[in-house]
Every structure is written in structure tokens, then in C-alpha cells.
Chain A
Amino acid sequence: MRGVLTRLVSAALVVWAAATCAFLVLQLIPGDPVYAVVGSDALVSEEQHERIRAEYGLDQPLVVQYLSYVARLATFRFGDSYQLQQPVATVLADQLWPTVQLALAATVLAPILAVLVAVATSGRRHWPRRVAAAVELVVVSTPSFWLGIMLLTIFSFRLGWLPVSETGGVASLVLPTITLALPIAAVLTQVMREGLLAALDQPFAVTARARGVPETAVRYRHALRHSALPALTMAGWFTGTLLGGAVIVENVFARPGIGRVTLQAVGDRDLPVVQGVVALSAVVFVAVSVLVDVLYAVVDPRLRRRTGVQAI
């Protein structure tokens, strides 16, 4: 019970710190935020500037602005978007599902690809490993923007198998998911193969082989768990890549979602939306790290409290 409480408090602290950082960074920008509200193409009078300033509370002292911002945050309200004239919470909620779909699909695809490739290339022969490593290097160093355009050009523009951005169907999810998942899968594969090879050198692998366990079973049943731990520690990076990748993928594939809104908000200097996205990302990071802690125990029995086995 106490553990849960500590977790909650620390989670709240992380979100508060991220939100405060976002607030401060955006305050460092010099000048008058009213320009951000009205945009550069507008025909508005000085009097209207004042009205907008009052409407968004921009005429208040900074401390008051900060406190009301934190107060709103605590009640899950982020204020109103400057450009969209809607509550930020509504904007984000409307755009959440397409991004969740994309992120979930990539979260499923990337580890599956990584496991398959890592296991297949961790045998005694060296050449599959070398080929795979070369491919992984290329994939990791390819900008996902370019990867997306290439996939689109081949499978959508030339072959016509998949749509650019058809409304919501499964077919429209295929290419974006691959674009988002491939670089993640490539890094995961490298980490897992390292772990697999290290585990296969351990005495228990020799024992298992000596018992006549088939090679694939040795790798899947015994060694894979060992390689899963280092892969799990990368969950934070994984989440960050998913969120950052969503910005690029959603724009290349013209998909709706948080990434699309974020890019537009940054371009338009729509500060409340940017702050909302930062707070949302912080919440996601906290949630993922909790989930990973639970998964550690699932993957590695040595980490479970009751087993009493010491982790090395």
C-alpha cells in the first residue's frame, strides 16, 4: 500500500517538474505572447490586443500565471488553445486515439520483429549475423521521414497496394506502423542479440544442450529471457522514440493524431497546446516506467519479492 502511495507521489512530482519546465522555457521567449495568439497575417487593432491579453490572463504577473497554470493542471484542464479556440483537453482527447492505435501497433510489431531476427541470427554461423547487423545499421541511420517516403513511393504510389491515408481502415495503418517500428526493432535486435549470445555462452545453455534440448528451444526457452532484461531497460527510449516518431510519421502519412497537432502547435506557437502535450508525455513516461517495473518481475523470477532468490 505504501509502495503504491510513494509511486503516485513521485509520478505527480515528475509530471509537475515537466510541466514547470515547459512553462519556464516558454516564458524565456522574449516579447509579447499576444502576437502568437493573433498570428502574423492578422488585421487587428491595439485595443483588440489588450482584450486578448486579458482573456488569456496574460496581463497577470508571472507568478499568478504560473499558479493558475499548475492549478488547472492539477484538475486536468490545460486552458484554451490560442489558435483552435477550444479547450486543450478536448483537442488532445480528440487526437489521442489515432496516435494510440499507431503506437500500440508499433509496440507489438517492433519486439516481434526484434525477437524473430535476434533468435534467427544468434546461431553459430556468423554470416546471417553480419548481414542482419548491416541491415540494422542502415535502418537505424535512415531518417524515418525518408523511410516513410520510400515505403509510400513503392507500396502506395507505384504498386498501389496500400493507401496514403484512407479513413481509419487497417490498410492505412500498415505503412505508418512499419515506418515507426523498423528503427526501434533494429536497435532492439542489436541489444537482444548481444544478450542472447552472452546467455548462450553461460553454463546453463551448455547444460541444456547436453540434455539434448533442441537448439531453437535453448534459444527461445532459456536464453531469450536473459536478453529480454536489457531490452526492457530501453523502454524509456522506446516510448520517447514512439512519441517523437509519431510527429514525423503522422505528417508524412497525413494521419490525424497528437504528433500532427504538436507540429502545428509548435509552428503556430500555440503555447497551451504545447504545454498540454508535454504534460501528457510526462504522464505516459511515468505510466510506462511503472509498467516496466512490473514486467521486470514477470520476465525475471529473481526480481520477485517472494522467491527470495538474489538477483545477480
Chain B
Amino acid sequence: MPPSRAVLAAVVLIALAACGTENTGGTSGGQAAEPAVSGTLTHAVNEEPDCWDPHVSAQDVTSFLQRPVYDSLVYQTPDGALEPWLATKWEISPDSKTYTFTLREDVVFHDGAKLDAEAVKANFDHITAKETNSQYAAGLLGPYKGVTVVGPHQVKVEFDRPYVPFLQAASTTALGIASPATLKAGPDKLCAAGAGSVGSGPFTSGAYVRGQERTYTRNAAYNWAPKSAGHTGPARLETLKVRFISEAATRVGALTSGQVDTASAIPANQLGLLTADPRLQVLDKQVPGAVNAFYLNTKGALFSDVRVRRAFQRAIDVDTLVKSVFQGLYQRAWSPLSPTTPASYDASLENTWPPDPALSAKLLDEAGWTGRDAEGYRTKDGKRLTVVAPIYGEASTFSQAVQGDLKKSGIYLELLASTDAIEIGGRLDEGRYDVVELSWARGDGDILSHFFFSDQTSKNSGHNFAQVTDPEVDTWLTAAQTAQEPAQRAAEYAKAQKWAIENAVVVPTYVDTQNLGASKKVRDLRLSISAHPEFYGAWVEAP
């Protein structure tokens, strides 16, 4: 178990213990008291959604902030297990192409409409409609074919090819189920969400001031929480307020001075301050999905040579760099997948490719990079060994540290930083790069398909920046998308991870970790699979 989970568990245990001792006064017997069912929680978040329609937006913050409002067909527990939510059960056809969901019959949307098969169909139709211009949700549906109403509370979703990752996709807010009437409001209204969005979630979305805050109110009729939500019935909080505080110093100050109860995205250098404060707690969790990693362009002039790729992979002292840059906050990564990605992480890769500058030097010599220029970089036919890395925005401290480390091995990592998404996008589409560094959150191992399946090129809006076109890899990834048994899927994903490391198409670096600062008065708050706080079961102790 990684340390962050241990910390999380400890925090929850402490919170439960404290709750037990403080509130048992009035009750008899061994049972802990029911927590006070009231209160307001104010959360400070660093980003504000551009567009509030989760069917459209590709922003993580939209998914997070609409989660209290929209329920999904399936629930993914913080550990990654999938369980019924709006759907009481589902059947998957033996060829893994057809999913038949049976819906709960007691679910009522905030506007009074009832959940039925037609409502679910309306949502899928909205997501896939051309006019919606979905930037993410439609992509999550993969080889989507269509949706049909089977009975009043039964829908069938069909795909062109086997697509098991659909179940996890169905648990995301991006595929959340909105009241069908509101989907007709038009893209501008759904995006602006000035008057709120209408789902069936434990909170109704209320007043919104762009640039300031969004208020949510408890949905008193809520009675369809998933089994593992940690609570049943209406939410414990009466009101939830989310304030948009983009400036980290202001956000942390608002938390330490008690003006907000919880705050996301605490910078690493402020974490010590929070953990030292007896009134505050820090929750953190490794984000599942693709870790921060360098993807090597295997079709480029430089990295088409596997020896040069391997040399690059083994030249970087990842351990030391991650420790010094993130001060122990993040763990180094051994696989392209994060350890918290459900049923797919291959732990056997750990410690299998330690830094080895000697091996790296030997490989570069073999590949003909034997010369040295005035600055100490290796050369071949008078050309410096330059690795071009386009970066959107500014080069991070970590990228710069890697650059410094590679210099020792005579490799020049050229960080081409630009705030111009257009220029960077063009470069990626046309393959004018040697490496791309990025991470991608997703609570399913299928994220590997986005990175290594041959048709997932940048132009096709995939992330196959390593330009892998290996029929064997495609076979494994397809098998993983087809297999219904988690263990079988994990085995297929393990093959792909091993292959990616052995062929040095990727250099995983560190595991993104989300943290949350919170007042100790906030109880029963936990981080979801995507490492965002789940407010449904939370409550705030009266002052």
C-alpha cells in the first residue's frame, strides 16, 4: 500500500475516533452517535469551469463541481470497484458489445421529472449529437453505436466493437444523467449554468456568481446513494459553497484563517504549514490513470533507434530528481500507470529499470553518438544529441531538473516552451518532436489504449505520442477491452506496460498526487477515485 493511502486511512480513522469520543455523551451503548445533520461547508477551488456542461467540457474541474448535482448509471468507489447507482444492474453480452442497464424506479430529478429509459436515452443522444460539440464525453464512449429503449426502465447501449471500459466511463460525471427537459435549453444555457444544472444528485445547484462562488443546496428527496457512498438518504450538509480562489496564497490563507473549511490544490511548499497546524488536516491521494511520463517518438529520426531510447530512459536519475523537486510529496513511477489505477497496475515493474549511466553511455557509443562538443554534449557527424520536447505553458521545475540531469550523460533536452496551444498542437500532430511529457487522469487502465493503441494518434485526438504501431500491443489492448474478468484485463494491461518499458517507448517519472487541506471540524470527507473530495457524506462540526 502506498504511503498516501496509509495517511488517508489514518486521517479517516482519527476522524472517526474523534467523532466517536466527542459525540457519544448522550447515547448509551457501544454505538457511535449519529453526526449532526446540518451545516454549511465552504470549499475553495483553484479553477473555475469555462463550461458547466459535463457532456461538453473536457475540464476536470467541471466534472468535480457537477458531481454533487449529477448522478451516473454506475458508481466507482474510491478503490476503483464499480457498483450500481442509477442502474440497479447491467448485463453485458458475451461479445462485450452490448450493455443492458436496468434503472432504479424511484429516482426523481430536481425538476420533478422521473428517471426512466427515455431520460437516459436523451442523455446519450445529447452527448453524441453533433451540435453538442462534446470535447470529452463523446470521446469516452469510444466505438459507440447507439442507444435503444428496451423497456420503461431498461436501456441498451451498443458498440461497434467490444468495449469493456465503457462501464468505468459510465461512472464519470462526463456521462452523468441530466433531467431530459433541461438538455433542450441550448448549449449556451447549459454551459453558463447561471440558473443551475438539473440532475438527480444529492445537491441541487443554486446561485452562481462567475469569478466568485457557486452555492449548492441539499436535495431532501435524495434516497438513491450507491451502496459504498458511506452514507444513505439526504446529504448531511444543508449548504455547500464552492469559492473560486485562483491564487494559491489566498486559498491557503483563507483555509488557515478559517474563512473556508476545505481547499484543493495546496502547493507543496505550504503543506508543512498545514500539517503543523493542530486545527487542520491534509488528505491526499495518488491520481489514477497515466502518470507523468516522457513519451518517446519512436517514428522520429532520433528515437527510432531503440538503443538511443534505452540510453535516454536509463540516463535519468528519476528517484533523486523526484525526491528533490517534490520534497517527498510525490512518489516516483515505475510504470506508465499510477498504482491507484484499478485492476491494471503492474507492480512487478518496480525497481526493474534503475538509472544506469554506464549502460546509457555504452548504448550511445554503439549508436554512433561518440563525439563531444564544446559544452560536453555528445555528437554524431557533427550534430549535437538534441531531444526536442515541446511544452505547453512554462517548463516545470521538474522538466528543468531532468534537463540538468541529462546533460551529465551528454544529452541535450531542448525544452521548447510556448504558451501557444496552436503551435504546440501543430507540432504534436505533425510529429515534430522527440519526447512529450504529460500525465492523464482516468480511473481505468484503458487509458493505456489512448497512449499505445496504433490508431490513437494526436491527429485522431488520442495520445499515442510515442507513435507506437505494434500489432501485438493492439491485440493486448483489444483483448483488455473485450475481457470481462478484471484479472484477465489486468493481465493484458500488464503485458502492455512491460512492453512499453522494455522497448523504452516511455519513461514514467512521478505519480500525480491530489491533496486537500481541511479544517478538522470537517468530518467524513473522503477523496473519490479521481482524488476529488466527495461532499455527500461530509458534515461540519458546530463551532
Q: Please state if A94 and B212 are interface contacts (CB–CB under 8 Å).
A: no
Does B88 count as interface, using CB distance less than 8 angstroms? no
Q: How many Å from the CB of B87 to the closest CB on chain A?
A: 24
Contact partner of A86 among B188, B212, B253, B459, CB < 8 A?
Answer: B188
Q: Quick check: which of A35-43, A198-206, A227-235, A281-289 contacts chain B, the rest being far away?
A: A35-43
Cα A29 to Cα B254 in complex, Å, equals 39
> How many chain B residues touch the partner (CB < 8 A)?
48
Contacts of B209 in A (CB 8 A): 167, 256
Closest Cβ neighbor of A51 among chain B residues: B130
Contacts of A260 in B (CB 8 A): 211, 246
Q: How many Å from the CB of A246 to the closest CB on chain B?
A: 12
Q: How many Å from the CB of A94 to the closest CB on chain B?
A: 6
Contact partner of A31 among B48, B58, B60, B423, CB < 8 A?
Answer: B423
Contacts of A263 in B (CB 8 A): 246
Contact partner of A32 among B188, B247, B256, B426, CB < 8 A?
Answer: B426
Cα A253 to Cα B212 in complex, Å, equals 10
Contact partner of A41 among B56, B59, B211, CB < 8 A?
Answer: B59
**Beta-carbon contacts under 8 Å, A33-63 to B:** 33, 35-36, 38-46, 48, 51-52, 55
CB within 8 Å for A264 and B50 given contacts A42-B135, A86-B192, A160-B257? yes
Contacts of A302 in B (CB 8 A): none
Does A196 count as interface, using CB distance less than 8 angstroms? no
Does B398 count as interface, using CB distance less than 8 angstroms? no
Q: Please state if A39 and B135 are interface contacts (CB–CB under 8 Å).
A: yes
Does B375 count as interface, using CB distance less than 8 angstroms? no
Contact partner of A33 among B191, B422, B460, CB < 8 A?
Answer: B422
Q: Please state if B392 and A269 are interface contacts (CB–CB under 8 Å).
A: no
**Beta-carbon contacts under 8 Å, A76-99 to B:** 80, 83-87, 94-95, 98
Does A165 count as interface, using CB distance less than 8 angstroms? yes
Q: How many Å from the CB of A268 to the closest CB on chain B?
A: 6
Q: How many Å from the CB of A270 to the closest CB on chain B?
A: 8
Q: Quick check: which of B89-97, B136-144, B521-529, B535-543 contacts chain A, the rest being far away?
A: B136-144
Cα A36 to Cα B424 in complex, Å, equals 11
Contacts of B213 in A (CB 8 A): 167
CB within 8 Å for A31 and B425 given contacts A40-B392, A44-B135, A83-B51? yes
Cα A94 to Cα B194 in complex, Å, equals 11
Q: How many Å from the CB of A108 to the closest CB on chain B?
A: 23
Please encode chain A, from 247 to 263, with 1 for each CB lying within 8 Å of some chain B CB and 0 for all others: 00011111111001101
Contacts of B460 in A (CB 8 A): 45-46
Does A156 count as interface, using CB distance less than 8 angstroms? yes
Q: Please state if B253 and A157 are interface contacts (CB–CB under 8 Å).
A: yes
Contacts of B425 in A (CB 8 A): 31-32, 35, 40
Contact partner of B58 among A33, A39, A95, A167, CB < 8 A?
Answer: A39
Contacts of A167 in B (CB 8 A): 209, 212-213
Q: Please state if A31 and B420 are interface contacts (CB–CB under 8 Å).
A: yes
Q: Please state if A156 and B257 are interface contacts (CB–CB under 8 Å).
A: yes
Q: How many Å from the CB of B21 to the closest CB on chain A?
A: 29
Contacts of B475 in A (CB 8 A): none
Q: A41-B60, A84-B191, A86-B191 are in contact. List 19 more A-B contacts (CB 8 A).
A: A29-B423, A30-B423, A33-B422, A35-B422, A39-B58, A39-B421, A41-B135, A44-B135, A44-B138, A44-B461, A51-B130, A52-B133, A80-B188, A87-B188, A98-B211, A164-B245, A167-B213, A256-B211, A264-B48
